Structure 1
Amino acid sequence: MDPFSLRLNLNSGDVKGNNLIVESKTLFDLRYSIQNQKALTKLLKNKKDIEVYTVSTCEPGHTAAHLTIHVTRLKPGKIGEEFFFTKGHIHKKPTAEWYLGISGTGLLLLWNKNKHLVLPFSRGDLIYIPPGWAHRTINVGDEDLVFLSCHRSDAGYDYDFVVEKGAPKRILASDKELF
């Protein structure tokens, strides 16, 4: 493999390059993680679906020798009182991860078997997530929350862990002390 480059616009959060895979997650994709199902039904009543976030991924290889980066764009919005959030995951292999805030205002919800933390997350914030911590990002602002994350490529993702166990905290509009 030869070295290569991507281009990240630090103002807009747009990333460009030949080695990117872009995925979109919608309210339908998050339906099992949404607490207020009545609000979800009402929100989708006259719409096919609503995009919540996109993830642009560059994964050069699937071994510990490589690093994967993601640039995530999480839209502003609420389902009832609950802010839009990413699906959340824990890595299948014990792996640390870095998050870098590019734009917007949000929170990072982190938890392990002993405790949970809610950290503010905005432009310029660098957050280190140690191995063994599940994590979910929440947009509490009025604009897109854009961030870059980086971890070893063979980490894997366990999304079912979050769906089955549930996140330890819901971030609601009434939780003003958190943001």
Structure 2
Amino acid sequence: MAEIAGWVAPIATMIAAMMTASNLGARMTGWGFVVFTVGSSAWTLVGVTSGQTNLVAANGFLILINVIGVWRWLGRQAAYEDGGQSAKKASRTSSSPSLFTATGISGMAVVDENERTIGHAVEALVECASAAVSYVVVAEGGIAGIEEKLRAVPGQSIKFKCDRLRLNMSGEAFRSLPSLAPGRWPVSAEAVSRQE
């Protein structure tokens, strides 16, 4: 049994890390925590059979943390996600305006005025007083965030579609916007348009 646990522990830990890091929604993250729990349980068994009390103690604590992760992501967060998705789906056949979830903006495809894909949305900045979108940060290029360029597009230059964001500008105009420095985003849409 200890030999099987010795194989299960690292494999489960690696798979769980990939599942949670992939950011593919609440359910995938929740199942990642389930796999982490299996891995921590296997590491605990390895520690017990080899007399490594530090391994037992560390993974006993990790089992507790992983169970909280399962509750949060497969329970509470999945229910939130399901609620948002049900409203989004129902709005497509309703006389009410179509909806999409605000959390769905991150990762949403961004196209130019000619419907050519430019990149994907990273974040939307919303004005507190008016609840209007001040600007959306769009990532272009790169692989897994490496060498990508971030640009802020003013809210009035964006048309929110159900499955994508459409810019009211060409790809060339988008690329002429200044690249954002890491951690130094504009304070307002006006700052974006002044290219500060």
Same fold judged by TM-score > 0.5? no
RCO comparison, higher one (Cα < 8 Å, 6+):
1
TM-score where L is the length of structure 2? 0.23
* Richer in helix (by share): 2
Q: Who wins on radius of gyration, i.e. which is larger?
A: 2
Of Structure 1 and Structure 2, the greater strand share is in 1
Return the TM-score normalized by structure 1. 0.25
